[in-house]
Amino acid sequence: MDMTKTSLSALRKSLDDKQISAKELCAECFSAIESGEEGIGAFITLTREEAEKAAEKAQARIDRGEADFLTGIPLAIKDNICTDGIRTTCASKMLEDFVPPYDAAVMEKLKGQDFVMVGKTNMDEFAMGGATQTSYFKRTHNPNDKSRVPGGSSGGSAAAVAAGFVPAALGSDTGGSIRQPASFCGVTGLKPTYGRVSRYGLVAFGSSLDQIGPIANSALDCGALLNVIAGVDERDATSARLPHEDFTDKIGQSVKGLRIALPKEFYGEAVDSEVKEAVTKASKELESLGAVLVSCEIPSLKYGIPAYYLIACAEAASNLSRFDGIKYGLRGEGKSYGEMILDSRNRGFGEEVKRRILLGNYALSSGYYDAYYRKACALRQKIKAEYEAIFERAEVILTPTAPSVAFKIGSDDTDPVKMYTADMLTVPVNIAGLPAISVPCGRDKENMPIGMSIVGRRFDEGTIIQVADAYERVVG
């Protein structure tokens, strides 16, 4: 069974109709991983023994006629999501041997349906990066061209889906870390509204920005996965107190009359011509279905990168202060408490993590807090207001996901500033706390995938999934 072309719904039907067993499906995933993982590097930890046991348990449930949507379905999990009894490293030497004593909230929900976890995926260390090249363990390669990056920081999850190792995976998105790798790898990735999915058990990078979301082969599959992982969680103070809904309810509904905004700033000189051409063509496809294209502006987009990196790095510096080598993680050496912490962090953190901690502490330090961090927070409110103004005129916004296709390994990822500016199209959505989905919309002259993002109003995932699905259907 080709996982790159099989939907979750089709797998559900095959399992329920006994065309394949959960154990056989699990075995097919590991067979694909064994044949292709060496050249891709999508996983940090494979959990075959646990997966086989989970498949047996799932099959018993299927045989009783009590299967839920994900019962027996194999998935991969990003390695910054805590998994009880299974190593969770955040791709860092600091947590190389860390085994959580509890599950993240999303894992509880998935296990409640008896899914099958095949492994924990590679990522940029502590989710800090846009290429999955800062991992302590390995570099991940793009399945479309192994000389290129898969994007990041959820590059391992996107590569695992694109390579056909699993039909879907979970990632996390702080500044585009689900959508950008989905775009680079030619799959679909959904970043839910901030607060839609519990962050309990997600190792924090930027607490006001982080959000867990699905990566799959279609908008429908992403919506179906979101149905499982979304919901209120009293352990997460930022969890939205909203009633449960079906995010696939609008699938198949006409987009006639639906207004789609095209902010001119997202189609500027910084975006490659082939990317702009592909996304513009996609907008015309939606217009042919009856959607109405609306021109608009987001003037503050140019401040998105500095505002995002000041806020994200400040929060990262605070969150990573817990890694002192005492409670858990790498324990350093030294004759004093200070020397031990210094050695723990010096050996445990990679260069990119250290860089962001330094930037964050600088922005929060006395004398610079008002000059930098406070201004970044003010810009955040301005960007939110500009999005709200657009949503008074349109239901969704359509933009390129990334300014270019996946770049070569060892090129842009060696220049931190260039890497940061590559996030210019994704970070505003996180700053505003909005939902967005990246969908493949073409390929460039070298046959590399191009992705477009559909951004929606807060807590309106149903509409962006509807539009993404309508596009996928019209282009086949």
Active site residues: 78, 153, 177
Cα–Cα distance, 266 to 286 (Å, whole number): 18
Contact assessment for residue 123 and residue 91, using Cβ atoms and an 8 Å cutoff: yes
Task: Name which of 233, 128, 234, 135 is nearest 172 in CA terms.
Answer: 128
* CB contact at 8 A, 167 and 73: yes
